[in-house]
Structures are given as structure tokens and as C-alpha cells.
Structure 1
Amino acid sequence: MKLRLRELAFFFLLGAAASLVGDHSHVVTGTTAYFTDAVPFVWSSPIWFPILVGAATASLAEIRLHLPRPRTDVTVRQGVAGAAAVVGTYITTALVHGAPTVPATALIVAIAVVIWCVLGDGPSVVCGVLAAVIGPAVEIVLANMGLFGYHDDSDGLLGVGPWLVPLYFAFGVVVALLGEIAASRRQLPTLSSSAAAASR
């Protein structure tokens, strides 16, 4: 394991919090609806939803650090921008849910491409693809189990929104970046100590 426990906890909480904002946007706009009250809800979401997203966030951040060439020049400012971009994209999917499928999906694809071009790198594509495949697949299974459903104008991908694929891709790319930031900031004290020793 490359991330420390407190870093994994941070990523879990960050992913869970961001998921609650996005999912609330889906629920209040009618993009999605839950059909079960068997578990406690946190805001508009059953408790398992933020847990799943939080676990995915921590896992993807860890996976990025096992891939080649983690960057050391990434900044917290980039991380904040990435997190805001993903949450904004999530909310956008709620706002366009009544739009025709092709332009709505194309918009989210375009945003995801810009996020990767500005903040991602080659290895981050692995995290993006993992999220883009596993995330929608899990949602398809849960939707077909009858736990929740997408509105009729947003269920073109086996019962879920087609724009979930680029949304999850952008999520994976940004989480990869955040994992790199955590690792690079951990090295700062060591680098500073080395520089101080060299100057003596």
C-alpha cells in the first residue's frame, strides 16, 4: 500500500461528500429515483451510495501510485480544480437529463476530454477507463435489481445514463491526480531536508 491510512481516509471522505452533492442534484431534478428505504439515507442518498463512491475514490488513488511515473510536480491547486470540475460535470448531467441523448452525452464527453488534457497524463487513462467501465456496470446491476432507476429520458445505456461513461472517466483521471498530489506532498519535507544538508 502506497497511501497512508489517513490519506486513504481523506480520499474516502472526499469521494463520499462529492457523491452526495452530485446524487442530490440527480434526485431533485428527477434524473434518478430510489425505490428502497431499507437502509438509512444521507441527504438524498441511501448510505451505500457514498460508501461505494468513497471506496472507489480511495482505491483509484492507490492504483495510480502503482502505475508508472507518478508525477511529482502536480499541485494542490490543480487538485482543487479537478475536484471542482468533476463535481460540476456531475451536476451538469443532472441539468441536461431532459436533453436529447446525443448532444447531452457529447457535452459530457467534451468536458471529460478537456479535464484529461489539462490535468491528466498517460497512466491516468488507466484509472479513467477502470472507473468508466466499473462505475456504470455497478449502476446497471443496481438499477436492474430495482434499487433505483433513471428517468426514461436518461436510461439509454442498459437502464442508466450514457453520459455516465465520460463522467466516470473524468472522475478516475482526477482521482489519479489527487493520489499523485498526496504522494508528492509527502516527499516535500525529505526534499527540503536534503537541500538544507547540501547547503551546509
Structure 2
Amino acid sequence: MLFVVGAVASLVGDHSHVVTGTTVYFTDAVPFVWSSPVWFPVLVALATASLAELRLHLPRPRTDVTVRQGVAGVAAVLGIYVATALVHTAPAVPATVLIIAMAAITWCALGDGPSVICGALAAVIGPIVEIVLAQADVFAYHEASDGLFGVGPWLVPLYFAFGVVVALLAEIAVRRRSGVGRAA
């Protein structure tokens, strides 16, 4: 289920980037799903599943998390993702500070200590993958938002929020599967 959530959410965010000109793809070698090459939602879905699995191997998965919190988390990450599309031509510092603030609020409201690990890994690995792909001319970010080695500097906090929320979703999935906290 988390694989599907990651894929679908990625398509919404990436479509926002494409229609605003934040991102331009230079390939037609593969089929597209909506505005994204088919590999894009697959990569995000795999990252989602991998981070969720990591969270379950970290200490103290929470048992009091709710589906309502999960919905809020997905909405927060989608909102942050779409905000990056809307601010892509804004000056880098205020745009990045806005996304950092939104990511911090997401962590403070929905995260915990172990989710920081998932967020930090996503914040490092995600932008590195995008930098490599941008340098390989698979896609490009708008010139006003390519200040981090060819990608948006606000990707770091966006990916951080993504990792925090995936950790939360993993906890919810395990709780629901095991029946912990279910009403009789």
C-alpha cells in the first residue's frame, strides 16, 4: 500500500513541477504517466517502501499513531511539494526558508526521534539522485531554482518531510496490520 501511496503522490507533485516549468524532462525514450516518465513514480515508490522498512527496524515504533495523522502527513508533503512548484522563480533564500519551515512543522507535529533518521536519509539521498540525473541531462530545473548543483535547494527540506511522513505511515501500517489500538 505504501508503494502505491508514494507513486500516486509523486505524480501529483511532479505534475505540479512540470506544468509550472519548475522541471523539464529531456527524454521520450520511456512512456509517461501523466507528466512524469514511468521510472519517476517507481523510484519514489521504492524510496517510500525502503524508508518505511527502515523505520520498522529503528527503535520504538509508535503504537498510538492514527490514520488521521497519516492523512495529515500525506497532505503536508503534497502541500510542500506543490509549494516548491509555486515558488520556483522566487529568490532562493526566502523560498527555501519557507519550505524548511513547512518541513519543520511537519516533523514537530507528526514525527518523532527515529523519524529524523528517515528524514535525514531522504534529505541526503533524494537530492543526490536528482543531482546525478540533472547532470546527466535527463531533466533540468528552472534556472531560477537550480542553485544546488542543478536542482532546487528546497529539495533537501522537501525530502526531509517526505522521510518523516513515510516513517509515520510505516508505523500506522504495522499498527493496523497487528490490530494494536483497534476498537473491539
TM-score exceeds 0.5: yes
Rounded to whole Å, the distance in 1 between the matches of 2:20 and 2:91 is 16
1:41 is matched with 32
TM-score (norm 2): 0.97
Rounded to whole Å, the distance in 1 between the matches of 2:36 and 2:57 is 32
1:148 is matched with 139
Q: Does residue 51 in structure 1 map to residue 47 in structure 2? A: no
Mapping 1:150-165, distance limit 5 Å: 150-165=141-156
Rounded to whole Å, the distance in 2 between the matches of 1:155 and 1:188 is 46
Distance 1:118 1:192, change over 3 A: closer
Q: Does residue 60 in structure 1 map to residue 60 in structure 2? A: no
Please report the RMSD computed on the Cα atoms of aligned residues, expressed in angstroms: 1.3
Distance 1:155 1:184, change over 3 A: same
- How many residues end up aligned between the 2 structures? 184
Identity of aligned pairs, percent?
A: 75
Offset, 1:167? 0.1
Offset, 1:21? 0.3
Computing the radius of gyration from Cα coordinates, the structure with the larger value is: 1
Rounded to whole Å, the distance in 2 between the matches of 1:53 and 1:190 is 29
In structure 2, stretches of 5+ residues that fail to align are none
Rounded to whole Å, the distance in 2 between the matches of 1:120 and 1:109 is 15
> Structure 2: which amino acid aligns with 1:126?
I
1:85 is matched with 76
1:72 is matched with 63
TM-score (norm 1): 0.90
Offset, 1:186? 2.0
Rounded to whole Å, the distance in 2 between the matches of 1:145 and 1:176 is 31
Q: Secondary structure at the match of 1:111?
A: helix
Q: Does residue 97 in structure 1 map to residue 98 in structure 2? A: no
Rounded to whole Å, the distance in 2 between the matches of 1:160 and 1:188 is 42
Offset, 1:189? 6.6
Distance 1:38 1:182, change over 3 A: same
Rounded to whole Å, the distance in 1 between the matches of 2:126 and 2:46 is 12
Distance 1:52 1:122, change over 3 A: same
In structure 1, stretches of 5+ residues that fail to align are 1-9, 194-200
Rounded to whole Å, the distance in 1 between the matches of 2:3 and 2:175 is 19
Q: Secondary structure at the match of 1:149?
A: strand
Rounded to whole Å, the distance in 2 between the matches of 1:47 and 1:36 is 11
Contact in 1 for aligned 2:63/2:180 (Cα 8 Å) = no
Q: Secondary structure at the match of 1:33?
A: strand
Residues 149-192 of structure 1: per-residue CA shift (max 9 Å, x gap): 00100100000000000000000000000000011112227987
> Structure 2: which amino acid aligns with 1:40?
P
